[in-house]
Structure 1
Amino acid sequence: MSGFSTISCSVAQGICRIRFARPEAGNSITPQMVSELHAAFDLCEAKEGPDGRAVTVVVLEGSDDVFCMGGDFDAVAEDAVPMDPAPLYDLWLRMARGPFVTVSVVRGRANAGGVGLAAAADIVLADESASFALSELLFGLFPACVMPFLARRVGAQRARYMTLMTRPVGARDALSFGLVDALGERADELLRQHLMRLRLPGRAGIARFKTHAAAGLDDLEGQREAALAANREMFADPQIRADIRRYVRDAKFPWEA
C-alpha cells in the first residue's frame, strides 16, 4: 500500500502487516508516523480491507535490531511546541480496543513509547534479541501515557519498578513479567505459527470479545486525561527541554558534567 513515508503497510488474506520505516532514527515516533499509523488503522477498521476481506489481524514490526526507540528526541530538541501526546495515546487505544487482533513483534530494542507500542497490543511476540526499557526518568520525565497499558500487562508494581530502574529488561524477564506472550529463536517463525491460528476466528467474534474484555478488565479511557496532562506538563518544563537538547547535541545525560 502506497502513500506512507514512515511506515510500510500491506494487506493480504485479512492480515495487515505494518513495519516502521525509520531505521536510521531507531524507528522513533514522530507526529507523521502517528498520523500514518492512524490512517493504516482506518483501513483496517473498514468493513472490507483493500483485498476485499475484513482485516482480523494487525501486525506491527520494527527493524531487525530495533523495534522502536520511543519519541524522536531530535524533534523534541528542535521544536518549540512539544508533540501532542493525545494522538499516540489514542492509537494505543485503537490497538487495545479495535475489532481485530493486534500483534507486536519485537526484535531488538523497545524503549519508552516503543514499550507502549508493544504493551498496547493483544499479543507480543519476541526473539532473544528483544529488550524493553523505560528511560524517561533519566531526563526528569516519566512514561505517563505508557503506564496504563504497561500496568495492564505486568501489574502496577512491576511497571513502577521498570520506570524507576530505567534499565533494559531482557526478553526472558519480559516473558516472565507478562510483557511478552511468546518467545522464540526466530521471531518470523513464531509469527508464522501464531498467524496460522489467528487467521481462523471471524472479525465479529474478535470484536465482541475485545469489547467484553475491555469493559471488565481495565479502564484505559478513564486514565487518558490524567496521562495526557502529565505528559504535557513534563514536556513543557524548560529544564527538561534544555536537558534533552543537550543530550541530542552533546550526547550527555543531565547528571554528566
Structure 2
Amino acid sequence: MGNAIEFEVSEGIARIVLNRPDAGNAFNAQLARELAEAALACDLDPSVRAVLLTGRGKMFCAGGDLKAFAGFGDEATRCVKQLADDLHKAISLFARMDAPLVVAVNGAAAGAGFSLSIAGDIVISADNAKFTMGYTAVGMSPDGSSTWYLPRLIGLRRAQEMAFTNRSLNASEALDWGLVTRVVPAAELDEAAMDLCRRLAAGPRGAQAMVKKLLLCSSGNALEVQMEIEGRAIARAAGAPQGIEGVQAFAARRAPVFR
C-alpha cells in the first residue's frame, strides 16, 4: 500500500488505517485506489480472519476531498466516477469477503466517510464521533453504498431525513437509531475494536463467512428461498471440520478450537 493507507496483517487480523489526517482522511483518487487494493488483499488472503478499519487522527473520514474535486475542471465527471468506482470496489469486496469487517469510527464521519462507516459488519463508535451525510450541502448525491445500507439499518423515513437535510447525529443518537453497534470512550476505541477482532479471528471462519452471505442476500429473497439457502449452508457446516469441532467441543464441555 502507499502513503494514503496503512495496512498490516498480524495474527489473522488485517488492520487498515485511513492515513490522510491533515485532510480529515478525505477521499482523493489515491486513497480510494489504495482502499480498494487493501480490500482485495483481505479478500484473497486466507489467513485474514477479521478486518479492522479506522482513521488516523481526529476524524474518521470527511468524505470526498473537495479541494481535489475543485481542481478537476472539465474532467470532474470522469475523475469523480473513477474515484467512486474504486470506493465501491472496496465496499463490495468488504461485503463479500469471508472475514467480518469491524469499523472503528474515531471521529467525524461525513459524506463517503459516513457511507464507509455504516458498511461494516460491526461498527464501534467513539463517544465523540459524529455522523452526517452532507452530500446535498455541496450539490452532490450520495455514493459509497449509503442509499442501500441506510434504509435497511434505520428505515426509509430516517434515511430520507439524513439524506435531504444532512442531519448530524452524535454517537449516542447513532446508537439509538441503529447506525452503530456500540459506543465506547474515545480513549478506549482502539483496544475495544482490537479485542473484538481477536474474538472474531478465533472464531469459525467458514461459519462467519456464511453469516455475511446470508444477511447480504436476505433482503432480495423470498422466505422459502432464504430458508433453502440456510438449510444447505448449515448442512454443509455440520460436516465441515469447524462444525464437527464446534459440536464435539460443546458435547465435551470444552472451548472449541477453530483452525
Q: Normalization by structure 2: what TM-score? A: 0.77
Closer/same/farther in 2, CA of residues 97 and 156 from structure 1, 3 Å limit: farther
User: Is 1:66 matched up with 2:64?
Assistant: no
In structure 2, the residue matched to 1:188 is 190
Q: Could you say which residue in structure 2 is the equivalent of 1:34?
A: 32
> For each residue in 1:84-117, what CA deviation from the matched residue of structure 2 results, as whole angstroms up to 9, or x when unmatched?
1222122212222221101110111100000111
Instruction: Give the Cα separation in 2 of the matches to 1:47 and 1:25.
Output: 30
Which secondary structure does the structure 1 equivalent of 2:141 belong to? coil
Supply the AA of the counterpart residue of 1:203.
R
1:75 to 2:74 alignment: no
Measure how far apart 1:36 and its partner are: 0.9
Determine whether 1:22 maps to 2:20.
yes
Of 186, 208, 211, 2:210 maps to 208
Greater relative contact order structure (CA < 8 Å, 6+ sep): 1
Corresponding position of 1:223: none
Query: 2 CA distance for matches of 1:163 and 1:96?
Result: 22
Which segments of structure 1 move beyond 3 Å, counting only runs of 4 or more? none
> Could you say which residue in structure 2 is the equivalent of 1:253?
none
- Contact 1:6 1:21 survives alignment (8 Å): yes
Structure 2: any 5+ residue segments left out of the alignment? Answer: 222-259
Distance 1:150 1:94 in 2: 18
What secondary structure, in the 3-state scheme, does the structure 2 residue paired with 1:74 have?
helix
CA distance in 2, matches of 1:191, 1:100: 15
CA-CA distance at 1:61 after TM superposition: 0.7
Q: Aligned pair count?
A: 212
TM-score norm. by structure 1 comes to 0.77
Unmatched 5+ residue regions in structure 1? Answer: 49-53, 220-257
What does 1:33-182 correspond to in 2, within 5 Å?
33-48=31-46, 54-80=47-73, 81-82=75-76, 83-84=80-81, 85-145=84-144, 146-182=146-182
Which of the pair has more CA radius of gyration?
A: 2
AA of the residue aligned to 2:166: T
Between stretches 11-20 and 140-149, larger displacement belongs to: 140-149
Helix, strand or coil at the partner of 2:14? strand
Tell me how far apart the structure 2 counterparts of residues 134 and 147 of structure 1 sit (CA, whole Å): 10
**Share of identical aligned residues, percent?**
30
- Cα pair distance change 1:97/1:154, threshold 3 Å: farther
Counterpart-to-counterpart distance in 1, 2:96 and 2:45: 16
The 3-state SS of whatever aligns with 1:141 is coil
* CA displacement at 1:205 relative to structure 2: 1.8
8 Å Cα contact 2:112-2:143 kept in structure 1: no
Task: Tell me by how many angstroms 1:44 deviates.
Answer: 1.3
Which structure has the highest helix share of the two? 2
Residue 155 of structure 2 aligns with an amino acid whose one-letter code is: G
What SS does the aligned partner of 1:110 have? strand
| Aligned-partner SS, 2:124 | strand
The answer as to whether partners of 1:61 and 1:106 remain within 8 angstroms in 2 is yes
> Counterpart in 2 of 1:227?
none
Q: CA deviation at 1:123?
A: 0.8
